[in-house]
Amino acid sequence: MTTAFDPIKLGDAELKNRIAMAPMTRSRAYGPEQSPTPLMAEYYAQRAGAGLIITEGTQPSVIGQGYPATPGLHNRTQTAAWRQVTDTVHERGGVIFAQLMHTGRVAHPANYAEPLTPVAPSAVRAQGQVFTPGGLRDLVQPRELTPTEITRTIDDFAAAAHNAIEAGFDGVEIHGANGYLLQQFLSSNANARTDEWGGSAANRIRFTVEVTKAVTAAIGASRTGLRISPANPFNDIAEDDPATLYPLLVDALNPLGLAYLHVMETMAPELTHVLRSAWKGVFLLNPATPGSATGPGQLQLIEDGAADVLTFGSRFIANPDLPHRLATGAPLADTDMTKAYGGDAAGYTDYPAL
């Protein structure tokens, strides 16, 4: 029987176990031009016992940034600075993918390094607020991307993926979840376009498919993963057809031979099983665990064959040696969520291993 502590091949990489660290924004990229710092390298290296680390959401362009102090992968300074992270993780035997996150309309002019208006499939404002250096602010009405800009945005993902490999990452995860740009294209409540990028489900999956193809062309399918969150209402998404749209997306992606599909399960657990069966490659699952964080109770999902790799988010914040604790049944430390975003070593690198 396969357990969470068995190794698995993921594209070109060999994972020592099936416990992955889910992507988590920590807003501490205080290096020049929003680049990673030595503190970030220490944070990730402490967690290298994970079979796979997926980094915090990382913008592929200036306009792709939604939150303060999130790192980028779109210029030389950032690319060079990520090397300290990938080197220290590799020295400790870890495998690390960069998550490429373009937040689209979930953004605020106050968070860009230059004066810009957020962009989205359509000029449809999301209800909600976003952190800025000046505190929580209402989301603004985004500007609709032109077809030329859509093509350029796809190119930005490919260029950032290329930079990720240059920076020493083992691969990239494209962020298609949580109401950010890719899911804005997928969802008819955010995508009101009447051209080939909107309307039918086949048109709404086009952006995600084209970004994925461009990234695989840049770095190879075996180093490319995609994260999706079917029916997740986060960031004012209201999908009206997830049961048809996501299987269509999986069918379109299967021939590419990606390293993995990563499903963040929220409101549609029944769809998880459908996608698990339809997906021909390695299946990562961040299971829905209402009212608590993914923990020891979910390890069984590997034995049941519900997933090939499990991803754990918040537990990894307070438990840098989470796989070891899960393997030995050791107690888990509680996460101080008040220190999740921004700040210094407190609540970041000061959680001890056992």
> Which residues of this protein are in contact with ligand FMN, per CB under 6 A?
22-25, 56-57, 99, 101, 175, 177-178, 227, 264, 286, 289, 293-294, 312-315, 340
Which CA distances in Å does 257 have to 43, 79, 175, 306, 321? 31, 26, 17, 20, 31
Tokens encoding 131: 């952190």
C-beta of 193 vs 312, nearer to ligand FMN: 312
**Which amino acid would we find at residue 292?**
S
CA 271 vs CA 89, 133, 283, 323: distances in Å: 34, 38, 14, 28
Q: For residues 46 and 178, which CB has a smaller minimum distance to ligand FMN in the complex?
A: 178
**Total residue length of the chain:** 354
In whole angstroms, the minimum distance from the beta carbon of 286 to ligand FMN comes to 4
Judge whether 182 and 175 are in contact, CB under 8 Å. yes
Of 22 and 45, which CB lies nearer to ligand FMN in the complex structure? 22
Report the sign of the C-alpha dihedral through residues 286, 320, 347, 86, in that order. negative
Considering the complex, what minimum distance in angstroms separates the CB of residue 147 from ligand FMN?
27
Smallest separation, CB 50 to ligand FMN (Å): 12
**Using CA atoms, how far apart are residues 147 and 84, in angstroms rounded to an integer?**
37
- Residue closer to ligand FMN, measured from CB, 171 or 198: 171
Nearer to ligand FMN among residue 193 and residue 259 (C-beta) = 259
Whole-angstrom distance, CA of residue 288 vs CA of residue 306: 13
CA angle centred on 101, ends 98 and 104, rounded to 5°: 170
CB of 316 to ligand FMN, least distance (A): 8
In the complex, minimum distance from the CB of residue 123 to ligand FMN, in angstroms, rounded to a whole number: 25
Query: Between 193 and 315, whose beta carbon lies closer to ligand FMN?
Result: 315
Burial class (CB in 10 A: 0-12, 13-18, 19+), 143: middle
H or E segment at 96?
Answer: strand 96-100
159: part of which helix (H) or strand (E)? helix 147-166
Is there a catalytic annotation at residue 180? yes
Q: What is the DSSP letter of 49?
A: T
Distance between CA atoms of residues 88 and 291, nearest Å = 34
Catalytic residue, candidates 44, 180, 260, 348: 180
CB of 139 to ligand FMN, least distance (A): 17
Active-site residue numbers? 180
